[in-house]
Amino acid sequence: MIEEIFIINKDSVYIKTIKKSPLTLRLVVLVIAAVCGMYICLISLEQPKVRTSTKLLELRVVNQSCHHPSAVEDWEIPYLHYPQPKNYSREECACNPVRFFSILTMQRSGSGWFETLLNSHINISSNGEIFSVAKRRENVSSILNTMDKVFNLDWFNSASKNECTAAVGFKWMLNQGLMEHHKEIVEYFERRRVSVVFLFRRNSLRRMVSVLANSYDKEAKPINGTHKSHTHSSIEAEILAKYKPWINTTLLIPELKKTEETASKAIEYFKNTRHNVLYYEDLDKNLTKLKEVQEFLRVPYRDLHSRQVKIHTAKLSEQIENWDEVQKCLQGTSYHSFLLSD
């Protein structure tokens, strides 16, 4: 180090002046001290790097002792994760690979029901609407940190399993920071191999009825003063379905268009991730559709159950206050079919 300094300064007048002035000598000592200080700093900065690499080595040892299940196809290998939760040991599940997923959806599209179905599988843990809490989506880093925690199996709630988790995920509404930060989120999904399940409703007029009824319920709370977005009781479902919303037809077509555009924009943003587009109506009509979902998530097939009861089961014409007006508004438009499907 010291030699280097002299080499650098060999030809300069600086060296010569050192001898003359004790002040410059002091300066040189200072410089040497500073360089030594920097050197020490550098060495101590090296230390964590050393530690990290031993940590990586440990991880690699863990990986090596886990053989991928024989049924796994080559393309799947990057999608297999072996999380090591911070606060507990996975012990007997350590070598059970875990896949990551996210359900991207909109409010009142059946995602609550869909999640209860998924969570009835012993190996699936779907952690709910984690980004409904504004603080978790305040900025990109809090979004990514929250996902890290979920995917590391460090997120505890009723969806956490005692059995070996084979797929872990959560549901995410498009209006919860997902569209704003889509670039970083797509990057994260691609890097960490998160599979995407889009869940939409084909009939967004029915969705609109559900949205309006749900926001009415938030205010009126006809069930003993509690707000219910979902129910397990057919009596409660009947009470909730009694309310018939009035739809502002000036806004109807623009709203339906907006919903449609948001959904296709989301699919466009995430088109390069591994994804699957599901429609609530298809699931509702034919629960064997859930077999495809399980195949997509690469979990062993099981019959899935939900105790949730559907709220709006009647014909659409019986669920909208100003049905005639709505009918007139959509007649002959591309949304005409929404009036007919039940």
Ligand X SMILES: *[C@@H]1O[C@H](CO)[C@@H](O)[C@H](O)[C@H]1NC(C)=O
**In the complex, which residues of this chain contact ligand X (CB under 6 A)?**
59, 63, 80, 82, 86-87, 96, 122-123, 135, 138-139, 141-142, 154, 156, 163-164, 166, 223-224, 248, 250-251, 286, 288-289, 292, 300
Closer CB to ligand X, residue 104 or residue 166? 166
If you ran DSSP here, which 8-state letter would residue 178 be given? I
**Could you tell me the smallest distance in angstroms from the CB atom of residue 101 to ligand X?**
14
**Could you tell me the smallest distance in angstroms from the CB atom of residue 159 to ligand X?**
14
Residue 140, exposed/middle/buried by CB under 10 A (0-12, 13-18, 19+)?
A: middle
Closer CB to ligand X, residue 286 or residue 331? 286
Would residue 129 be called left, alpha or beta, if left means φ above 0 and alpha means ψ between -120 and 50 degrees? beta
Sheet holding 194-200, edge to edge: 124-126, 167-173, 99-105, 194-200, 275-279
**Could you tell me the smallest distance in angstroms from the CB atom of residue 175 to ligand X?**
18
Closer CB to ligand X, residue 44 or residue 64? 64
Q: Could you give the CA distance from residue 217 to residue 212 in angstroms, rounded to a whole number?
A: 9
**Could you tell me the smallest distance in angstroms from the CB atom of residue 156 to ligand X?**
6
Tokens 């699931």, residue?
A: 283
Closer CB to ligand X, residue 15 or residue 180? 180
**Could you tell me the smallest distance in angstroms from the CB atom of residue 298 to ligand X?**
8
Closer CB to ligand X, residue 40 or residue 59? 59
Does residue 255 contact residue 209 with C-beta atoms inside 8 Å? no
Q: Could you give the CA distance from residue 230 to residue 307 in angstroms, rounded to a whole number?
A: 10
